[in-house]
Amino acid sequence: MRIQALLLVLCCVYNNGWAQMQVQGKVTDAKNGDAIPFATIRWGKGSYGTIATLDGRFTATIPFADTTTPLECSAIGYATRRIVPITRNMNIALQPSGNVLSEVTIKPSANKAKRIMDLAVALRNNHNPDKYPQWQCRLYYKMVGDIVVHDTVMNDTAASNRELSAFIKAQHAFLSETYSVRTWQRPGRLQDDVLATRVSGLRKASFTSLVTDVLPFHIATDFINLNGKDYPNPVANGYQSRYKTSLTDELVDGTDTIWTISFRPRQGHQYLEGRVYIHSAGYAISHLVANATDSALGRHIRIEQQYQQVPHPDGTKWFPASHNYILQMQMKSDKTPYMLVLNGNSQVDSVSWEIPPTFRADKTHTVRLAPNADVATDSLLNVLRRDKLDVREMNTYYVLDSLGKKVKADKILCAMRYAPAGRISLGWLDIDLARLLSYNRYEKTRPGIGLQTNELLLKWMSIGGWVGYGFGDKEWKYGGFTEWYAGKYRETSLRLTYDMDLADPGRISLGGTIDKNYLRRYLMQRVDRTETYSAALSKKMGFWNLQLSATQQRITPMYAYTFQPTAYSGYTSFTAQDATLKVRYAPGEHSAPFMGSYYPTPGKYPVSYARITAGQLQAGTTTIPYLQAVLAATWQVHINRVGQQRMMVEAGRLWSNNPLPISRLFAGNGYRYDARYASLYAFGGLMTLYPYDYYTSRFVQGIYNHSFDWKLWTLARNGFSYSSQPYLGLQYGVLWGTLTNSNQHVGVPVTAPQNGYHEGGIIFNNLLRMRYSSICYLALNVGCFYPIMPQTDFGKDGRWVIGTAVTF
């Protein structure tokens, strides 16, 4: 019995181990040697096989009985190759086919493909890394940029073209690398710790490139954002109304099955086209290839993603393994048309479900640089890279670093370090671009200049001033400030300011983009001349921005207005002293470094604002204390099968035992300019309401905008820079407010919308688009708004509006 048992064990070992061959290899392009991602490798009767990785590598366990049969290797766009016999190491080179290989649909596939896709959609959140409680991984990312010209130029014997051809072949036009540790903790806490980053041509990397700057880390979402544009995910609810799908392949890989499902947009849509690989283990996405083409821009984007099964205490979890993208932009040139190509590749490893106890998240800096990470040496990156750089990549660093040193590229970029804040640096002095030129109906054209010192003079302090002249009122405006900084990134500051300027009476200022200062200055026609002394302490802490300020202001209305706090007094100027606390809270907001400063990127959660002001107003011998509070929130979200939703709500209240002048009331947030002209559209205000139609001591305002995803029509011609591809937007706005003691204001009508003010509008977004190179479109939006209550008279109060936008 013992001998029989031993023979049985040996037989089992032989059948399961020695009777099998471990095969490994790589699939490459026979023409240029590049790896071919996600090639299909089959053996035996054809139903058994595996999928190559993103870098073309594959491993397989093949029974010895099948090693004498052909191994078949195929990929879209390449001629299928059959190799016999099968050996342990197989490097397979495929020849590009003259005609792109069309996928063969397995019949019957419609119902089976739908069942597989429906299960993948239903179980998608089980494999969503954002739904996992926590994880940490390491991420290596490399981006390469190239200039591609036509073969006729590359093969031209002219001296200039020979030099260009030699330069292009010897090195890339751009190269950057980043190695980071990515940490996730629910809910919504993401941290990227950059250990090393390098940019060709620069001694110090002025920015940090992450793969998520171009494409998402995973696709377990309703939309796939590529280069700033949302594309509907083919593995999401509603996919059948957007994509045609078909089952094109089915492989047995060990005990699992991999289904290849191709997808393409339905007629009239410009969505993604490609293949998604669904794994029978949880019906998870194991691979994805997707292409997005914009023929009008001459732009093509291809993404390739691979996912891996990682051991977990509860079994295994799917997690991203690698990402690849290719962005091609056809550039126009009178002499030599050329193409810009960006190729990015990331590799994910060391996935852990536990976070080290020493880890501390920094919500203020979601992309955090380790000491000297932005001056990473090649010796450090050699340790972190999985694969060594090739000769062309090493030449890129050598040549471009030498060129950058010669032209002082770091110094040139240094002049742009405050560009996101609206300033340009000239040595130790910054120019405030917003002060150079402005226009409003009161001042007309107002040229000016604003200057301030930067850290090249003093790291801990800045001194600045500005001056402007209005050609309409023929008056000078001017001011100055000094500001002290604390912290590595100067995110704590104390600012002392003096200004002799103009102000919009009753206008609410919460800080940030919600104020629409550029539009408010343009609409300003009723003004107060103000002389202001102020001190402000600002601090950024995590998702919070805080500012505490004290102000003394002399206010002189520049219009026919008298404030009468009592029946026997009237004043045309007054003084106010107040203290204000401003708060901005943006949960989940990410921030990234640029030239030593951090700038936020929009998050997916609502952003809240608050302003509380306590002060007193002096009108002659009358002193009036007051308390003012304003709350606001904005939110923008893209909902699958619904569209883009944008909402804003704002409310305020004023407490005072005595009446106050209109400069301390709440002015209605109207964006109407003139009865004769169309208004400039911007989200956040009422388009049919003039800026000074209403004043209130308490108010509530709400605005809701819905933009549909579907296009009304597409009008475009080859060779033309203009096209039309509009999509519809609907907007509704409401304002309600009350005011006591309105008869204390003489010279201007002061009323409140006690019964509410309602308006509705329709907007044709992208009605006209102009191509800007191959980067983006400059779009013209046209709409029509009309008041609903308290009166409806489109001929009198209806408004045509126009707006502009940058789209991708």
Contact 735, 668 (CB under 8 A): yes
Q: Which secondary structure element, helix H or strand E, spans residue 151, and what is its range?
A: helix 151-154
**Mean of the per-residue pLDDT values for the chain?**
88
Contact 235, 271 (CB under 8 A): no
> Does residue 6 carry a pLDDT above 50?
no
Q: 545, 588, 542: which is closest to 185 by C-alpha?
A: 588
665-722 residue pLDDT tens: 999 999 998 877 888 899 999 999 999 999 999 999 999 999 999 889 888 776 677 8
Q: Which secondary structure element, helix H or strand E, spans residue 540, and what is its range?
A: strand 528-541
Preceding peptide of 320 cis, ω within 30°: no
Alpha carbon of 671 to those of 441, 518, 667, 693, 703: distances in Å?
A: 14, 12, 12, 11, 13
Average pLDDT over residues 527-552: 96
Contacts of 598 (CB under 8 A, 6+ apart): 364, 365, 489, 491, 591, 592
Q: What is the CA radius of gyration of the chain?
A: 32
Task: Give the whole-number percent of the chain exceeding pLDDT 70.
Answer: 93
Task: Give the whole-number percent of the chain exceeding pLDDT 90.
Answer: 59
pTM for the model? 0.88
What is the pLDDT, as a whole number, of residue 103? Answer: 52
Average pLDDT over residues 110-118: 88
In the structure, what pLDDT confidence band is assigned to residue 795 with cuts at 50, 70 and 90? low
Q: What is the 3-state secondary structure (H, E, C) of 55-117?
A: CCEEEEEEEHHHCCCCEEEECCCECCEEECCCCCEEEEEECECCCCCCCCCCCCCHHHHHHHH
- Dist CA 56 CA 353 (whole Å): 28
Contact 71, 82 (CB under 8 A): yes
- For the ranges 151-155, 256-260, 411-415, 747-751, which has the lowest average pLDDT? 151-155
What is the pLDDT, as a whole number, of residue 32? Answer: 86
- Dist CA 704 CA 715 (whole Å): 29
Query: Which has more confidence, 608 or 383?
Result: 608
395-441 residue pLDDT tens: 999 999 999 999 998 888 888 888 888 899 999 999 999 999 999 99
What is the pLDDT, as a whole number, of residue 107? Answer: 53
> Does residue 264 carry a pLDDT above 80?
yes
> Does residue 242 carry a pLDDT above 90?
yes
What is the pLDDT, as a whole number, of residue 315? Answer: 87
State which of 18-27, 543-552, 718-727 shows the largest mean pLDDT: 543-552
> Does residue 489 carry a pLDDT above 80?
yes
- Dist CA 520 CA 690 (whole Å): 11
Q: Using alpha carbons only, give the angle 702, 706, 708 rounded to the nearest 5 degrees.
A: 180
Preceding peptide of 85 cis, ω within 30°: yes
Preceding peptide of 790 cis, ω within 30°: yes
Q: 140, 361, 110: which is closest to 248 by C-alpha?
A: 110
What is the pLDDT, as a whole number, of residue 156? Answer: 61
CA torsion angle for 35, 317, 213, 340 (degrees, to 10)? Answer: 20
Average pLDDT over residues 530-549: 95
303-336 residue pLDDT tens: 999 999 999 998 899 999 999 999 998 876 656 6
What is the pLDDT, as a whole number, of residue 8? Answer: 42
Contact 64, 19 (CB under 8 A): yes
The amino acid sitting at 494 is L
What is the pLDDT, as a whole number, of residue 2? Answer: 41
Side-chain-side CA neighbours of 233 within 13 Å: the count stands at 22
The amino acid sitting at 704 is Y
